[in-house]
A = this chain, B = another copy of it.
């Protein structure tokens, strides 16, 4: 894409009421726009990053056997009353609104209830199970405070998968497989090393739930880490769990972290109250065993920003970057030659299927370089009269800052 085709421009300053580093950088670079506290629109650069994150998540959920659907935001009161989660005293972050008839409806903050109702219309026999269903869909949560940028929004895109199993054993097998899938997601998104499988409080049906916590000072959680096993324990259960749940060794450090994913055993809680049961091989009716598995896409994007950003701006891992290459032309006195070379390289890279942001704008080199550092595309390629005279390209790695003079074929090899 030519940068002149984007309507966004970088900004020197974020809105004065914005306190979160992730949102400040993403607003300044033109990825997001703040509509109000905790409510952010995604601009073209932001949509590209979110699409890359969604692609990674979809591939891993499909590999787990997940089938995609798309539930509604508007929620029928009736089904939430059955589970006891309609009342604002039980769930304190509902958004509610009214139909013309006066009937109150909610905006979904999660979707166990409607999905369990849907499945109850299709599941009869043990032959119909297990089933794994997911969506990437907008959730609404009426947060009292929303000061963490896109780490905690009032409206946000979430991947929520739900598992429906016959027995605890079948559930636990899937639950373990989901840990691997989640680890794959975070590794592919570039934050694998910084992300810890973290034991957290369970519910009626399991001792623990599990979170995936990524180390960053922007985190709202505190975790106690076992460096031997690369797992952690959430502060909230650290009174009860004072050693590593895997090796029983000491928890060696305490860090701030962001919960980028969580997996939770629900047992038969929702199935029982919403009538989701199956007839077993023995002819007996049994409630379905459920689990839920969430990843907030915006939160993941914001966490990546928090983890890798430096004083110059955002640093994207290749897998989620809006573009692979930021091509910059420095058009001096001999402008036509530079433009021709840069246009040609843009065409060649695009034909090779490499996504390029081409800064074809009529700006000073210093402005283009500062914009490029702020936007954070992994590889910057500069074409100027100087590089043409040398028969090379100036290639800079955004993460390390290393600058190399490469031939076109060396660049193509690097981008493989």
Chain A interface residues (CB < 8 Å from chain B): 1, 5-9, 30, 33, 35-36, 39-44, 46-47, 50, 65, 67-76, 95-100, 105, 107, 114, 118-119, 121-123, 128, 131, 133, 138, 140, 142-144, 154-155, 164
Given A7-B164, A36-B74, A95-B98, 16 new contacts (CB under 8 A) = A5-B65, A7-B67, A35-B76, A36-B105, A39-B72, A41-B70, A41-B114, A41-B118, A42-B69, A44-B67, A47-B70, A73-B73, A73-B155, A97-B97, A100-B142, A100-B144
Judge whether A36 and B76 touch: CB under 8 Å.
yes
CB-CB < 8 A to A70: which residues of B?
A: 41-42, 46-47, 50
Q: Contacts A97-B97, A99-B142 known; A74 to B35 CB distance under 8 Å?
A: yes
CA of A105 to CA of B25, assembled, Å? 26
Shortest A392–chain B CB gap in Å is: 32
Q: Which of B9, B35, B46, B95 contacts A97 (CB 8 A)?
A: B95
CA distance A43 to B122 in the complex (A): 12
Q: CB < 8 Å: which of B1, B9, B47 contacts A122?
A: B9
Residues B133 and A72 in contact, CB atoms below 8 Å apart: no
* Contacts A107-B97, A118-B33 given; does A123 touch B7 at CB 8 Å: yes
Q: Which residue of B lies closest to A43 (CB)?
A: B69
**Complexed CA–CA distance, A105 and B164 (Å):** 36
The residue in chain B whose Cβ has the minimal distance to the Cβ of A96 is B97
Partner of A67 from the list B6, B33, B114 (CB cut-off 8 Å) is: B6
Cα distance A30–B67 in the bound complex, in angstroms:
14
A55→B317 CA distance, assembly (Å): 27
- Measured CA separation A97–B154 after assembly (Å): 12
A114 (CB) vs chain B CBs: closest residue: B35
Query: How long is the Cα–Cα vector from A114 to B43 in the complex, in angstroms?
Result: 12
A154 to B9, CA, bound (A): 36
Q: Is the interface of A mostly helix, strand, loop or mixed?
A: mixed
> Which of B35, B96, B107 is in CB contact (< 8 Å) with A72?
B35
A119 CB contacts on chain B under 8 angstroms: 7
**How far, in angstroms, from A95 to B104 measured CA to CA in the complex?**
11
Which residues on B sit within 8 Å (CB–CB) of A41?
69-72, 114, 118
Looking at the assembled complex, report how far the CB atom of A281 sits from the nearest CB atom of chain B, in whole angstroms. Answer: 15
Contacts of A68 in B (CB 8 A): 44, 47
Tell me the bound Cα distance from A42 to B136 in angstroms.
12
Point out the residues of chain B lying under 8 angstroms from A114, CB to CB: 35, 41
Neighbouring B residues of A143 by C-beta, 8 Å: 100
B155–A72 CB distance below 8 A: yes
Taken together as a complex, chains A and B put the C-alpha atoms of A154 and B99 apart, in Å, by: 9
* Contacting pair A5 B67 (CB below 8 A): yes
For A40, list chain B residues within 8 Å (CB). Answer: 72
What's the minimum C-beta distance from A77 to chain B, rounded to whole angstroms?
9
**Contact flag A122-B154 (CB < 8 Å), given A69-B43, A72-B39, A74-B36:** no
**Most B CB within 10 A of own CB, among A6, A7, A118:** A7
Q: Which residues of B contact A144 (CB under 8 A)?
A: 100
> Is the beta-carbon distance between A8 and B73 smaller than 8 angstroms?
no
Residues of B within 8 A of A6 (CB): 67
In the complex, the answer to whether A131 meets B7 with C-beta atoms within 8 Å is: yes
Q: Could you tell me if A74 and B154 are in contact, using CB atoms closer than 8 angstroms?
A: yes
A78's nearest neighbour on chain B, judged by CB, is B36
Nearest first, the 9 A-B pairs at minimum CB distance are A42-B70, A41-B71, A97-B97, A7-B131, A95-B97, A100-B144, A44-B67, A39-B74, A36-B76
Knowing A43-B118, A44-B67 are in contact, say whether A140-B7 is a contact too (CB < 8 A).
no
Instruction: Give every chain B residue within 8 A of A123 (Cβ-Cβ).
Output: 7
Shortest Cβ gap from A142 to chain B (Å): 6
Chain B residues, CB < 8 A from A7: 67, 119, 122-123, 128, 131, 133, 164
Kindly list chain B residues whose C-beta atoms are within 8 Å of the C-beta of A65: 5
Contact A69 B47 (CB under 8 A): yes
Minimum C-beta distance from A221 to chain B (A): 22
